[in-house]
Amino acid sequence: QQQATQVAQTAARSAPTGIPKAHRDGGEPVPALYAVVEYIVNKFARLLPHEKCAHCKQPVIDAIKKGEKQADPAERAFCGHWFHSSCLEHVMTKPPFGMQCPGDGCDSRVFHPKWTSDVKTLERRWAAAQARQREVDDARDFLGL
């Protein structure tokens, strides 16, 4: 808490010129800036390294810690649980559609702005992808590949 306050005060002192001079010269930090810095420090920087993917139960930033170049980015669903991007895509785009969050004690349906929440649209997209895959497999079998 104290560290977040110090970071917010430092940021407020070096704020752009649109901020009143009293706030830039060691006065009270701008409330909006303080809230943002507090959130980033307390809810993101301190907690994210320990968060596990709600789907696969592996650390969401483990690959980033190991320095892998193609790390699977962490995504946060509306319910507040963290997922690997590939795990969230699997939960959102594969049946059963409209499922509840697999996170511990969470009864919320999984929502994320990258994917539609309309079950009918998700079903149509999945069925079309399956049909395309069957056509490719049939052509491969026909050609003996």
pLDDT tens by residue, 81-117: 999 999 999 988 888 888 888 888 888 888 888 888 8
CA distances from 108 to 70, 77, 79 (A): 30, 10, 6
- Which runs of E-coded beta strand occur in 30-92? 74-76, 82-84
Helices 85-93 and 119-143, axial angle in degrees (round to 10): 100
The Cα–Cα gap between 1 and 112 comes to 30
Provide the residue ranges of all domains of the chain, joining segments of one domain with +.
Answer: 1-46
Confidence band (pLDDT; 50, 70, 90) for 55?
very high
Q: Is the pTM of this model over 0.75?
A: no
In the prediction, which pLDDT does 68 show?
Answer: 67
Q: What tokens does 62 get?
A: 């483990």
